[in-house]
Every structure is written in structure tokens, then in C-alpha cells.
Amino acid sequence: MRKPTIIDLAKAAGVSPTTVSHAFSGRRKVDPATRERIIALAEEMGYRPNQAAQRLRSGRTGTIALASSMPFAVAAGASRLGFLMEIAASAAMTALTRNMALCLIPPLAPGSNLDSLALDGAIVVEPARDDPLISRFEARHTPIVSIGKVPGRDDIPAVDLRSAQTARLLLDHLYQAGSRRIGLITGERRRTSYEETEAAYAEFAAAHDMPQVAARLDETGGESLAETETMQLLRRNPDLDGLLVTVDAFATGALTALAGLGRRVPQDIRLATRYDGLRARLAQPPLTAVDLHLDQIANIAVEMIFARIEGRDHTIEAPIVTLLPRPSSLP
Amino acid sequence: MRKPTIIDLAKAAGVSPTTVSHAFSGRRKVDPATRERIIALAEEMGYRPNQAAQRLRSGRTGTIALASSMPFAVAAGASRLGFLMEIAASAAMTALTRNMALCLIPPLAPGSNLDSLALDGAIVVEPARDDPLISRFEARHTPIVSIGKVPGRDDIPAVDLRSAQTARLLLDHLYQAGSRRIGLITGERRRTSYEETEAAYAEFAAAHDMPQVAARLDETGGESLAETETMQLLRRNPDLDGLLVTVDAFATGALTALAGLGRRVPQDIRLATRYDGLRARLAQPPLTAVDLHLDQIANIAVEMIFARIEGRDHTIEAPIVTLLPRPSSLP
DNA sequence: AGAATTTACCAAAACGTTTTGCGCGAATCG
DNA sequence: CGATTCGCGCAAAACGTTTTGGTAAATTCT
């Protein structure tokens, strides 16, 4: 009573294994009648092609990597959660439906064993300009799909995170909520989301005749760095009445700073961030954020890397982002 | 310039593929000298055994499942994070070092495609008594390791979550912080962690001559259910000055209720929970919790399922839990 | 010294697919 | 009507391991 093989199925259907294979793969014509008979019989017998055999034959490994260059302190943190894990959960599920396994790659311990594991493709999350992750995979000829464009690399397929649009959405919202002097805090590394946000901010500032007050923080600094830097920022620019902070850990750090300075949120100064994670939602007050639809993004990334592995080239539009207004910026 | 195979390596070493295989697996004696020569040569040529071939030959799939019976509302939530993901992240990494892929199994959509995917083993997270997940895997003869014992099933290998000890730790702490009337909130499903906590609570109550005030909530109810139920609990037992809430989402719900009732935390009533997630840490005030060392737990579970798959039976002690006192229970 | 055992290795047969080249009858073409 | 194409199907050769049943030579036993 072992699992039926393609041979068992072929015998039962009175055809050769070849025909069964073609019936499933569609790589050659088979008579529609026989095809249906085979499919039905397969269903009945509970036949599933053996993956190991398929992979051996095809040379594929059935594994795709999910890698992030964000330092753990931000990407995963002491609690190992957030942005990356949210993507991982969705991507893992979608990969499953494709009979692919998703491997989480730890943030690049230098000279790590990354070379030892065989991969069909890699999904890279928010890479920075000249990110070593990218060159690693390229050196191995591993197909890449990026979540968030790779700065300066339009040739690498990516799921757009729509950061420019996100920034405009948040800035317009802060403006409508009454803010006239808005500051910006992003990260130091050159990621597309920061660059687009900064550009949108510059444009917004110009359009509203607003002075630019911006800071870039070291991502490994986390909440505490954001706290001290926000303090300084407000000391130098006491008239700030709005703050756009792209990284959620920075945003909660900023919130602490504001509380320390005695600025009331949202009455004196309004605060908004990008990623709608637990941090944003549980903050006091809860932070206005944007629904990036990360689950869909993750699925799209998997579909795209899958297409890429198969040699097809398939670009899928990223979902539209939507604003999630919360007390941190509401009157 | 394709990847060297065992045959290439055998030729280079002047032996047969058989010998190379044995040199690596150690399943038969080979001359130590030749063995070393082979290993060195393998290193030099960059030989890695082809996994697909190994799996085809051995009949293994190289995939283990990570499954939870907790409803998404609690286990993953709108943000898909928490307990489960924390385990997933660690387990995935450890699995990687074993050349195994970890698959996240979605919480059992009834009649789902679970049967379709081939698994070498499954790690089940905090199963309940008579959990359908368990019977599913057993029906398929898939080896199981449970994180948190399976109630009533001492025959299934498990990594103990030490819930009895955890409960005692928290109860003693609350007592030392001044609480004399402590209430308990757990979940409805019969999970070992609840059962052990309840037992420890009963024992503690008896020892301290304290009346028992306990509630079990529907896990799908989440924060809002916990809020209303906590209200009721306190209305009926206004003298409560301590609360042990095992599920973090319930704990934050309770916190909201307490605020609504005008009870100050920790002055009037002290609160503690079990899982030290983002929720506990970000709550206002931050919640006293316990470090379960989930990363280690996850690794242990992977090691155990791995041993189990290979036919060995290997039990590894769970790490000792440690208290994380926070303002929710500190004077 | 001959028999029995151990050592060190090898050849060949799986494992379950997919792919390639080929055959054969039927349909189409000039 | 002969020649060509097309549709449908098959046999056999990979893909890279591990395992099993061997065989000589070296060692040990009696």
C-alpha cells in the first residue's frame, strides 16, 4: 500500500508513463480523452508526483530564500517580529501552494554558510544601494525578486512598495490635520523607501513653502537612538508641529521623546509612520500608518520569483496603499 | 563547470562512488586514510551531495511542518505575529542547518490540502486535548513533536513549556508585590499550559488560604472579550488586587478594562502575563511576564523531530524560565 | 597450515520523474 | 495517388544518491 507512482498510474490507465507525464505537464499533445481519464484516475488513486524525483530530474531545489538586510534590531528585534515576519508568513503560505519551501536567511553573518544551501531563487526585502545581499545572489546566478526596488538597479524585478505615494498620503494627511511645519526622520542606509520618501518630502516642502527639517538615523540604533535624535531635532526646531517617521521603531522612540519634552500628541505635534505593525497600533496614542498590504506584496513576490525561475518574466502591480488614520494625528 | 557529483569526486579520489558515500555517511567502514583523502578532496572541489537525489533515494522529503491550533486571532492576529512567529523564526533557522525546510501550516482550514503535502515530521505548538491536528498527523503516520505537552498523551514527545513553574513564578511574584486576592484568566480550550497553570493556581490558593477566582475565555474572543469579561470579574470580586492572565492578548484586554474601571496598575491591582511578546512590552504600563526562551524551545523541538525522523528517540530538557518583572506588578 | 573472520573496497540496482528520439496510422497536400 | 505532415503514444536514457550482495586480500583463530 505504498504511494502510487507514475508507473502504477500509467498501468492503471493503460498508457505509458510518458503519456502520464505529458498529460500533467502539457509539454506535448495528448488526446483530451486519455488526458481526462488519466487525471480522473490519478485523483482516485491519490497519485501525487514525487517531488524529490521531479527535482532530481529538473535540477531544481524547490527552495526559495527570503532575505533581509535590515539589522535584526529593526527587522526582527529582540522579539524577532514585525515587517519581515509578516512578509515571511504570507510568502511561506503562497510558496506552499507552489510546492516550494521558503527559507528565512539570517541577516548575513559574514562568510556565512549561505553558499552551501541550494536555492532556486531569492526574495530580498528592502535592499539598500549596493547591498551585499544582492551581489551575493548575483554571484551565484540566483534569480532575485526584490520587495521594494533595488536603488540604482532597474534591471532587477521588484514589487514596488509605493513609497512615494505612501509619503504623499501621510504628508497630505498631516497637513490636513493642521501641521504646517513637518519634520522627517528616515534611515541612513540608502533604501528606495527612504529615497522616495525624502524626494516626496522635498517636493511637498517646496509646494507648501515649508522649510525642510530632516534626519537620517542609523538603523541599528533602534528606539533609543530615535528618542535622543528626536529630542535634538525638536530643540533645534521648536516650531515643528508634525513628524513623519518611516521606521516604526523610530516612531515609537520619537513618541517617547515627545512625551519627555512635554509635547502633546496630537494637539501640539502630529506623528505618522509607515508600517502598520503591532508597534504602531499599540503605541500611546496609536500611530497613524499606512496599510501596505504586505500579505499581497509577499504573494506577488512569490509569484514573480516563481515565474522568473521558470524563465518567464512576469511583473505584477503592487496593491494600492491606504491610509490608516489614528489618534496620533487626528484632532 | 557544473557542480561536481559523487562520481566526479570518486574518480578524482580513485575510488568508487560507494566508498565516497560510506566515507560521508559512516554506514560502513572505510580506511581512515582514504576517508580523509576523500573529505579533503570534497572540500577542495566544493562537492555537496545533491539533496534531491538523497531524498529520492531515502524517501524523505526534507520538509517539516510547524502547526498551531490556536486561532489566528490569538496566534497570529491581524498582524500575523507573536508567539508562533517567534518560534517559526528560530525553528526555520535551526532546520536550515539540518538541510530541512520548515513549512508553516495554516490553522487547519477544515478539509484543507494538508494531505497533499509530503512531510517528514511535524512540530505542533500548544495543542489542546483531543486536538484534531494531532489526529491528522497520526493518521498519516507523520512523526510529531509537540511544543507544550499534549494533554492526556504522554506518549507523544514534547518540549515542556514548564507552565506549572511559570505559574508559580508569577503567582509568588504577585504575592511578594503585595497582592493577596489574585484572580486567574486562562483560555477555554484544554491546553497543557492552561491546565498546569490552573492546577498551580489552585495549589497556591490553598496554601495561602485565598479564594479562587478564575475565568476561562474563548480564545477567538481576543482583546475585546477579555475586556468585558475582566469587567465582570472585577464587578463580582471587587477585592481582587492581582491578576494572572496567561494569554497576552487577554492581558492587554484586561488592562483596558482596569483602566475603564479606574483601577490603577500596579497600585490598586497588579497584573502579570506569560508570554513576553511585543504586546506585553509595549503595554502601558509594560506587563510583567516570563522569558520562556522560545528560541531555544524551537531549536530543541527541531532537534527532537529530527531525531525522531531518524528513528532515534531523543528527549531534550526545556530551558528554565525566568521572571521579567515590569511596572505592571512593581511597587 | 588451513579455516574462519575481518577489512577495504566495488558493481549494480534501485528511487520516480522528465525528456528525447522514434514509430505508426490518419489526415492533408500537390 | 504518392509524399508529406500531424497527432498520439512508447521505450529508454538520464538525474545523483544510497544500499545490497559481493570479492579479493589481510588478519586471526585452532
Separation between Cα atoms, residue A242 and residue A180, nearest integer Å: 7
Helix (H, G, I), strand (E, B) or coil at A302: helix
| Contact call for residues B254 and B242 (beta carbons, < 8 A) | no
Q: How confident is the model at residue A110 (pLDDT cuts 50, 70, 90)?
A: low
Residue type for position A100: M
Contacts of B102 in chain A (CB under 8 A): 101
Give the residue on A whose Cα is nearest the Cα of B116: A48
Helix (H, G, I), strand (E, B) or coil at B275: strand
| Nearest in space to A103 (alpha carbons), one of B97, B210, B168 | B97
Separation between Cα atoms, residue A143 and residue A156, nearest integer Å: 9
Helix (H, G, I), strand (E, B) or coil at B233: helix
Query: Given a cut of 80, is residue A70 above it in pLDDT?
Result: no
Contacts of B89 in chain A (CB under 8 A): 76, 80, 85, 88, 104
Q: Do A101 and B106 touch (CB under 8 A)?
A: no
Give the residue on B whose Cα is nearest the Cα of A53: B56
Digit-coded pLDDT (tens) for B93-115: 888 888 888 888 766 555 555 66
Question: Considering just the CA atoms, what is the radius of gyration of chain A in Å?
Answer: 25
- Percentage of chain B surpassing pLDDT 70? 93
Whether A96 and chain B come into contact, CB under 8 Å, resolves to yes
What is the CATH number that goes with domain A6-49?
Answer: 1.10.260.40
**Quick one: cell of A322?**
491606504
Between the alpha carbon of residue A78 and those of residues A72, A125, A147, A279, B173, the distances in Å are 8, 19, 23, 13, 24
Q: Do B282 and A279 touch (CB under 8 A)?
A: yes
Beta partners for residue A65, in sequence order: A103, A122
**Quick one: cell of B68?**
498551531
Beta partners for residue A67, in sequence order: A105, A124
Digit-coded pLDDT (tens) for B299-325: 999 999 999 998 888 889 999 999 999
Measured CA B41 to C1' C8 distance, in angstroms: 19
Place of cell 506584496: A297
Query: Given a cut of 50, is residue A33 above it in pLDDT?
Result: yes
Query: Given a cut of 60, is residue A229 above it in pLDDT?
Result: yes
Digit-coded pLDDT (tens) for B159-180: 999 999 999 999 999 999 999 9
| Contact call for residues B243 and B173 (beta carbons, < 8 A) | no
Whether B50 and chain A come into contact, CB under 8 Å, resolves to yes
**B37, containing H or E segment:** helix B32-45
Q: Does A6-49 match A63-161+294-318 in CATH topology? A: no
Query: Given a cut of 90, is residue B222 above it in pLDDT?
Result: no
Query: Given a cut of 90, is residue A236 above it in pLDDT?
Result: yes
Q: Do B56 and A61 touch (CB under 8 A)?
A: no
Q: Which fold has domain B163-292+324-329?
A: Rossmann fold (3.40.50)
pLDDT of residue B221: 87
Least CB–CB distance from B101: residue in A88, A101, A278: A101
What is the CATH number that goes with domain B63-161+294-318?
Answer: 3.40.50.2300
**Quick one: cell of A224?**
533609543
Q: Which residue ranges make up each domain of chain A?
A: 6-49, 63-161+294-318, 163-292+324-329
Closest CA of chain B from A278, distance in Å: 7
Across the A:B interface, residue pairs with CB atoms under 8 Å apart total 109
